[in-house]
Amino acid sequence: MARLTLKDIRHSYTPNPASDADYALKRVDHVFEDGGAYALLGPSGCGKTTLLNIISGILRPSEGEIHFDTLDVTDLPTEARNIAQVFQFPVVYDTMTVYDNLAFPLRNRRVPEDVVDRRVREILAMTGLEERAKRRAKGLTADDKQKISLGRGLARPDVNAILFDEPLTVIDPHMKWTLRTQLKELHRRFGRTMVYVTHDQTEALTFADTVVVMYEGEIVQIGTPEELFEHPRHTFVGYFIGSPGMNLLPAEFDGATVRVGGRPVALPGTPQRPSGERIELGIRPEFVRLGREGMPVSITKVEDIGRRKIVHASLEGETIAAIVKEDMEIPAEPHVVFDPAHLNLYADSWRVELEDRP
């Protein structure tokens, strides 16, 4: 296992990048600690796969260095980096049995056959592939093949890191739960450095201890799932994490409070008056309380999604979403209250610290 250090990495797919816009990765300076479980989360085109390919050696960065512990691997090819990789689409040897597919990376490294057998059996049990162990991979379903890919990625205990690129996209929802918890359990038991690229917030948040959120070639926030949910540093994080994302309402300063469409909203602390032009109040739908008191809203749509309802409403001409429990009756004259402890303030999209916040 190793600590992965990215030093001032920049990458451009064009030969002579002139401006920031020419860079797929604008600047990444980050350390993935030894034994950590990390997720790189962001929409397509945000640079997360570029970053992963730089770690794995598929791409050489235009600028900067990458170190595994103290070794500079910037110019080393993938084979020399001693990493395991799992891709979005299954990579299996069709003519080999499931068992031999899983044993392949170990036999390649001349691991004694009794150790191979023990390890392969563990992985077969974990992925639920025991019954198919002796079958050839050809003819298996896409998700069974992907389980083989995942299993192979986990087979070798001595790798520097395991890199996952959207590994569960082709897996059925029920199997996702099983594989995800097993990955997490495995990480807890063996403490390997894992970097997991995904655009799926649930996967990223449940898998990783630390989530790196990327947007337009830059890291916009690094934090625990809780931090990303409670205090998004950038409005993009507020929007991208959570479903629906954070409500953002244009606001104006008025002393210790802000006004939304003329209505004062008390803040949980005193904002330093930011220099930004555009002030927005951020409140997650989970913390918008719907009831008979507070600010009047008109409801435009109620989506019953089973375990909860998403209420879409209009507040002072702005659209907002609120999440309510499945059994809740929607009041006839609806009002909303914002849970003050969960208000965030943004100036030009970046979060403003509030002083004396409890």
Min. distance of Cβ 146 from another protein in angstroms? 11
Give 78 or 88: the residue with its C-beta nearer to another protein.
88
Min. distance of Cβ 223 from another protein in angstroms? 9
Of 64, 9, 54, the C-alpha closest to 161 is 54
Give 6 or 321: the residue with its C-beta nearer to another protein.
321
86 DSSP β-pair partners: 164
3-state secondary structure of 302: strand
Min. distance of Cβ 106 from another protein in angstroms? 26
Residue ranges that bind another protein, judged by CB under 8 A: 43-45, 141-143, 169, 172-174, 177, 180-181, 184-185, 188, 199-202, 205-206, 224-230, 239-245, 284, 286, 303-307, 326-327
225 preceded by a cis bond (ω within 30 of 0): no
Helix (H), strand (E) at residue 320: strand 318-325
221 DSSP β-pair partners: 213
Give 62 or 201: the residue with its C-beta nearer to another protein.
201
Min. distance of Cβ 73 from another protein in angstroms? 30
Min. distance of Cβ 128 from another protein in angstroms? 13
Give 327 or 356: the residue with its C-beta nearer to another protein.
327
Neighbours of 99 (CB within 10 A): 21
Min. distance of Cβ 234 from another protein in angstroms? 15
Beta carbons of 124 and 165 less than 8 angstroms apart: no
Give 76 or 222: the residue with its C-beta nearer to another protein.
222
Give 9 or 246: the residue with its C-beta nearer to another protein.
246
Label each residue of 59-117 as H, E or C. CCCCEEEEEECCEECCCCCHHHHCEEEECCCCCCCCCCEHHHHHHHHHHHCCCCHHHHH
Min. distance of Cβ 247 from another protein in angstroms? 14
Give 78 or 206: the residue with its C-beta nearer to another protein.
206
Nearest-Å Rg of the Cα atoms of the chain is 24
Neighbours of 332 (CB within 10 A): 6
Q: How many residues does the chain have?
A: 358
Beta carbons of 194 and 167 less than 8 angstroms apart: no
